[in-house]
Amino acid sequence: MSDHFELNPGQVTLQDLRRIWAGEVSLTLSPNTAAAIKASFDFAANVAHSGDTIYGINTGFGLLASKQISPEKIFELQKNLVLSHSTGTGAYLSDSVVRLVLATKIISLSQGLSGVRDTTIKQLLDLFNAKAYPCIPAKGSVGASGDLAPLAHMAAAAMGYGRIRINGEEMPAAKGLKQLGFEPLALGPKEGLALLNGTQVSNALALNALFRSENAFAAALASGALSVDALRGSVAPFDSRIHAARRQQGQIDVATKLLELLNGSEILASHERCGTVQDPYSFRCQPQVMGAALGVIRSAAVTLELEANAVTDNPLIFVETNEAISGGNFHAEPVAFAADMLAMATSEIASISERRLAVLVDPNMSGLPAFLVKDSGVNSGFMIAQVTAAALVSENKTLAHPASVDSIPTSANQEDHVSMATFAGRKAGEIAENVATVVGIELLAAAQGMHLVEPLKTSPQLEPHLATIRAQVAPYGQDRYFADDIEAAKMMVTEGDFLDAARDILPSLG
């Protein structure tokens, strides 16, 4: 059963957003928002009947902003805006992403700057709490003027158009609303524009990538420590004095975690005087690489938390001065930059993980049986699992190319510079999925390395992580159908089974 959570716009934390993403909460809206919402809508309604010209209330949109709309067509204007902008394509966004879209749109609209009714916000709240998620195609937004097409699909579903998923069952939105006992939303002045304008889809995709990257980061910290143990490597490179000298906080935090994870390992103790001078970079430079990735994750988290609490539609209504001012908060450049940096950092988590895997399967480097299997030759062991990891790492190199350096003019050159944040967030999520697979394969390989050096044991801190792996995947004695093992390991990473390895240093969990 989900917990009730009260949204206080402007004060929603990253931890709150992770719970929303995970589907752990139902939502209510702080009653403190009511007065501001009403005052803002009253302003929009008065303008609609006053004859004053204000963009988005009684004008056309984009290049058509100079077109005056008569009072009797204002409601038709808002409905037509939603229907004409419902032009998305591609696979639908996942339920976890749509939950974030709905929640952050509610946060934005509830701050009394958007001119919408409380009943319109309530419709979004009711959909969220009923687990009735608009079917939003993933493609079709350039990240300015906001996520117009995908948010149009969100709004259309609330109005009874398009499609909706209720507890996983997809159906026409009109049928879904009737099944739930909800009336289709009829839009008031400015409400179509307020619903469509905004960065909520871009930000939800980037938050999805962030949370999945955190899961992968924690698992990679566990797999990296397990691999050091399987290699019978050295903990000397994690000495705190080295990292204090560099002053990079992420690096310091990762080195500290690796020392904690490996403390008390029988395997490492047995090789303290083995004569190996230096381990490969992928083992001894984990604090430098993973610490840098952690720094980027933390930076992205700050940007995305701020954006989740932001008002990003246009124009904004300031009732204190009786003004509606057109600006550009819908331009998602901050989100695009955060998502692109996150994509690059997460790619490096997989890159260094695959290199450790390559060392473990190489008997000349690891001292373990070739490809981590006895009777190699008859058995191929982890040979092609490493190839799979290498393929995904190479795929990530292309996906990590920044979307934000691209722009393409739209709307007859009225919207002549765009952020591409939606694509940036989407491909950052794809990278995180690839990383989960790569790190999952390393976890299997490191666990197999442990098996091959038994009866020596790993550290008390790593034993629970090893047990997590062994609860689902048995040691590799001889060749077997391998895909199921890899999928199981990937799901362990994706579902956050190793978060305890880094819980107190990750921004949405610390």
Q: What is the DSSP letter of 143?
A: S
Identify whether 237 is preceded by a cis peptide bond (ω within 30 of 0).
no
Tokens of 237: 């490179």
Annotated active-site residue 55? The verdict is: yes
Closest CA to 344 of 416, 307, 407, 293: 293
Burial of 320 (0-12, 13-18, 19+ CB in 10 A): exposed
Number of C-beta neighbours around residue 402 at 10 A: 16
55, 161, 281, 481: the catalytic one is 55
Separation CA 7–CA 30 (nearest Å): 6
Separation CA 99–CA 86 (nearest Å): 19
Q: List CB contacts of 386: < 8 A, sequence separation 6 or more.
A: 354, 357, 358, 361, 371, 441, 445
Can you say whether the dihedral through the CA atoms of 380, 386, 392, 394 is positive or negative? negative
In sequence order, what E strands does 188-307 have? Answer: none
Q: How many residues does the chain have?
A: 510
Q: List CB contacts of 221: < 8 A, sequence separation 6 or more.
A: 254, 257, 258, 261, 290, 498, 501, 502
Cβ(230)–Cβ(266) under 8 Å? Answer: no
Q: Tell me which amino acid residue 222 is.
A: A
Q: Tell me which amino acid residue 158 is.
A: A
* Alpha-helical regions (H) of 375-420: 383-399
Cβ(315)–Cβ(193) under 8 Å? Answer: no
Cβ(341)–Cβ(299) under 8 Å? Answer: yes
Burial of 89 (0-12, 13-18, 19+ CB in 10 A): exposed
In sequence order, what E strands does 309-401 have? Answer: 316-318, 323-325
Q: What is the DSSP letter of 147?
A: S
Number of C-beta neighbours around residue 240 at 10 A: 12
Burial of 91 (0-12, 13-18, 19+ CB in 10 A): exposed
Identify whether 145 is preceded by a cis peptide bond (ω within 30 of 0).
yes
Active site residues: 55
